[in-house]
A and B are shown apart, each in its own frame.
Chain A
Amino acid sequence: MISNIFSTTVLVGILASGIRLATPYLYAAIGETFGQRSGVLNLGVDGQMLLGAFAAFYVALTTGNLWLGLLAAAMVGAVMGLAMAFVTVNLHAQQGISGIGFYLFGLGMSDLLFKMLLGTVETVKGFTKIHIPYLSDIPIIGEIFFSQNAMVYGAFALVPISWFVLNKTTLGLKIRAVGENPEAADSLGVSVARIRYFTIILGGTLSGLAGASLSIALLNVFQQNMTSGLGFIAVALVYFGAWRPWGVLWGALLFSMVNSLQLWMQVLSIPIPSDIAVMLPYVLTILVLVATVSRVRAPAALTKPFERGR
C-alpha cells in the first residue's frame, strides 16, 4: 500500500489537489497582506470567509449562477471590511481584539443564516475545470497546473498582480508609506484613513472570495464553521511570507500540499496517523517565524491607530 504513494498517478493527484487547495489561503492571505502593509491587522478573516462562503453558496444555489454567487461573497466581505475599517480607523479600536469580535460575528451569523435559510446540507454544482488549450495536454504538468477551475487560476494570478500593485504603482507606494510611517505620509498629503479604508475593504472582499472558493469551487457544500480556522492560518501566512505576495504563495503551498497529502493518505488508507502530518505545517510556521523574525521587519505602524497631531 505504501508503494502506491509513489506511483505517478498518485503523485500527480497529490500535487494537483495541492495546487487547488492553495486557493482559499491565497485569496485570504493576499487580502490580509494589503491590510497589514497599510498598518492594519485584520484578525476577522475567518469570519469574513464564513459569511462569504455562505453568501456565495446561497446565491449560487437559488439563482443557479455561480458568478452571482461570487459577487455576493465579494459584497458581503466588503461590507464586513467597511465595518472593520470604521472601527479600527475612526474609533481606534484595538485591532487584535475587534478582529476576534468580527470573527465570532461571522461564525455565528453564517451558521444562523444557514440554519434559517437552508436547514440541511445541500450541494451545488461548483466551478468546473477549465482545460487550457495545449498547455493542459503537456503530460503531468498539464494536469497539475492547467486543468483547474477558474477560481484557482484567479488565486494564482493574484500573486503577481498584488506584487505589481504593491511595488510598482503609486497606490502601492502610498499603502506602504501609510504602513511604515503614517505621519510622514500624512504630511505629504496622503490620506491615511482613505488608504486604510481601501486596503481593509479590499482585504474583506478577497476574504469573501476565499470563502466562496471553498463553498462553490472546491467543496461545493456549505457547513457550519466549514473553514475550521483557515482564516487564522491565512493571517499567519502573511507573517510567514514576510509581507510579500511571493512569500505568501510559498506558505500557502506548504499548507495546501500537506493537506492534500493527508487527504490522499486517507483515500489510500495508509496507516500513518494523518493528525500528526497535519500538525507539521503549524510547527514549521512557528519555527519559520522564530528563524526570520530578526531578519524580517513588520510594517512599522502595524496595529497602531493613526491620529493627526499626536
Chain B
Amino acid sequence: MERIVQKEWFSKLIDGLLPVLATLAALAVGTVMLMILRVNPVEAYSALWDGAFGSTNALAETLVKATPLLLVALGICIAFRGNVINIGGEGQMIIGAIAATLVGLTFTNLPGWLVIVIAMVVGFLGGAVWGGIPGVLKAYFRVNEILSTVMMNAIAVQLMNFLLRGPLIDPAQAELDSKIPQTARLLDAFRLPRLAPTRLHFGFVIALALAILVYILLWRTTMGYRIRAVGQNPHASRYAGINVKKRIATALLLSGAFAGLAGAIQVYGVNYRMITDGSASGFTGSAGFNGIVAALFGQLHPIGAIPASIFFGALLVGANKMQRVVQIPSALITALNGLVVVFVVSSEFWRQRRQHRRLSAAEGEDQQSSAIPSTVEEQA
C-alpha cells in the first residue's frame, strides 16, 4: 500500500512537470527557429527575460498583461472542467468591455468608486450573456459550442465596429475627418487605482482574488462539484440526479462572465476607452485565445492559472523587448504559444497512459481500493 502511495506522489510530480516539459520543448523549437534566422538564441532569450522581469516597470507590465490572461483562464478552467470548450473569449471580452464602457459614459455624475463597481459587475454580466447564449444553445438545442462561440466572436467584433464608428464614437472624432473609431475617454475618477509610477492596476488584485474564489467554487461548493461531475461523466451525473443541461449552460455562462470582466478591466485599468482597428485582437491582444493556453498550462486549476498567466504575460511583454534588441518579430511568441498548446495536449497521452497503468497496478495489488468511485455522489 505504502509503495503505491509513494508512487502516486511521484506520478503527480511528473504530471505537474509535463506542461513545463512541453514548454521547454516549444522553446527548443524556438531556439532552432532563431538559429535558422541567424539570431543568437542566448541573446534573444536574455532580452526576453530582461523585457519581462528586468526592472520594476518590466515586472509591472508583465502583471498588466497577465491580468486578462488570468481572468480568461479562470473562465476556461470552469468551462473545461465541465467538459465544454469555450473559444469565445475574444467576443466575451469585447461585449464585457462595451457594456462597462457604456456605464462609464452614461453615469458621469456618480462617484468614481461606485461607477467602477457597477462597470465591473456590468462587464461581468455582459460576458455572461455572450457566454450564456452558446451555453443555452448547447444544453437545450445541442448546438456545438465551438461553432457558436466562434460565431459569437465574429458578431461581437462587428457590433464593436458598428458602435465605435457610429453611435458611440468620440464626439471629438466625429467632427474630425480622421474619424478614428474610438469612444470618448472615461473620466479620470473612473480609472482603476494604479501602483504609481508603473501601469500596474488594481485589476490584477481582483484577478488574484477571483482565482481563489473560483478554486472555492469548483472544489468547495455543490455547484462546482456538479459542474465537474458533469464534465467527468454526464451519464453517471444524470443518474445521480444532477441537471446536466443546466450545469452545461452554467459552465459556459460563468466562463463568459470572467472573460467579460477581463474586457471591462482592460478598459478601466489600461486604455480608459475602447478603440478598434477592425479586428478582435486589436482590442483583446488575443487574450481570449492566450487565456486558453494559460489555463491548459496551469492544468485547468485556478491557482495553477496564476503562475501560468504571469508566465505567458512575461512571454508577451518580453517579446517586445526581444523585437527591439535582436529584431525578431514578436510574432515568434505567438507561434511558440501555439506549439505549447499542441505539446501540452499531446503530453496528455502519456499522463493518461501512466494513469491507466497505475490503476491496473493498484487493482492487482489491492482489489478493494478501486480508484474510480462506483457511483457519483457528493464527496465533500
Give residues in A with beta carbon < 8 Å to B. 41, 43, 47, 83, 87, 91-94, 96-98, 100-109, 111-112, 115-116, 224-225, 228-229, 232-233, 235-236, 239, 273, 275-276, 278-279, 282-283, 285-286, 289-290, 293-294, 298
Chain A CB within 10 A, most for which of B155, B340, B342: B342
Q: Residue on A with the closest CB to B147? A: A236
Tell me the minimal C-beta distance from B223 to chain A in angstroms.
Answer: 25
* Contact (A107, B146) CB under 8 Å given A93-B345, A101-B345, A116-B37: no
- Residues in chain B near residue A101, CB distance under 8 A: 338-343, 345
Chain B residues near A286 (CB, 8 Å)?
A: 137, 143, 148, 151-152
**Which label, helix, strand, loop or mixed, suits the secondary structure of the A interface?**
helix
Contacts of B165 in A (CB 8 A): 273, 275
Q: Is B154 on the interface with A (CB-CB < 8 A)?
A: yes
Known contacts A92-B349, A290-B141: does B166 contact A273 (CB below 8 Å)? Answer: yes
A-B residue pair count with CB separations less than 8 angstroms: 151
What is B's interface to A at a CB cutoff of 8 Å? 37, 85, 87, 137, 141-144, 146-148, 150-155, 158-159, 161-162, 165-166, 279-281, 289, 292-293, 296, 328-329, 331-343, 345-346, 348-349, 352
Residues of A within 8 A of B148 (CB): 286, 289
Q: What distance in Å separates the Cβ of B290 from its nearest Cβ neighbour in chain A?
A: 8
Is B162 within 8 A of A275, CB to CB?
A: yes
Residue on A nearest B33 in the bound complex, by CB = A112
* Chain A residues within an 8 Å CB radius of B289: 100, 103-104
- The verdict on A108 contacting B342 (CB below 8 Å), with A91-B349, A229-B153, A286-B148 known, is no
For B332, list chain A residues within 8 Å (CB). Answer: 108, 112
Knowing that A112-B332, A229-B280, A239-B144 touch, tell me 14 more A-B residue pairs with CB under 8 angstroms: A106-B338, A108-B336, A108-B338, A229-B150, A229-B153, A235-B147, A236-B150, A276-B162, A279-B155, A279-B158, A279-B159, A282-B151, A282-B158, A298-B144
Contacts of B296 in A (CB 8 A): 97
A-B contact pairs, 11 of them (CB 8 A): A91-B346, A92-B352, A102-B338, A102-B342, A105-B342, A106-B338, A107-B334, A108-B337, A111-B331, A276-B158, A289-B144
Say which residue of B158, B335, B349 sits within 8 Å of A275 (CB atoms). Answer: B158
Residues of the A chain whose Cβ atoms lie less than 8 Å from the Cβ of B159: 275, 279
* Complexed CA–CA distance, A232 and B151 (Å): 9
Cα(A64)–Cα(B341), bound, Å: 37
Tell me if B338 and A232 are in contact (CB < 8 A): no
Q: Are B329 and A235 in contact (CB under 8 A)?
A: no
Question: Residue of A at shortest CB range from B80?
Answer: A97
Contacting residue for A293 out of B142, B328, B337, CB 8 A: B142
- Are the CB atoms of B155 and A105 closer together than 8 Å? no
Report the nearest A residue to B345, measured CB to CB.
A93
Q: Say whether, besides A228-B279, A232-B150, A108 and B162 are in contact (CB < 8 Å).
A: no
| In the complex, chain A residues whose CB is within 8 Å of the CB of B144 | 239, 289, 298
CA distance A224 to B334 in the complex (A): 12
| Residue in A closest to B133 when the chains form the complex, CB atoms | A286
Contact in complex: B345, A98 (CB < 8 Å): yes
Instruction: Kindly list chain A residues whose C-beta atoms are within 8 Å of the C-beta of B161.
Output: 275
Which residues of chain B are near A273, meaning CB under 8 Å? 162, 165-166
Partner of A239, one of B147, B155, B336, B337: B147
Q: How far is the CA of A258 from the CA of B91 in the complex (A)?
A: 21
Complex-state Cα separation, A225 to B339, whole angstroms: 18
Question: Are A112's CB and B158's CB within 8 A?
Answer: no
In order of increasing CB-CB distance, the 10 nearest A-B pairs are: A108-B334, A101-B341, A108-B335, A104-B338, A105-B338, A111-B331, A275-B162, A101-B342, A115-B329, A93-B345
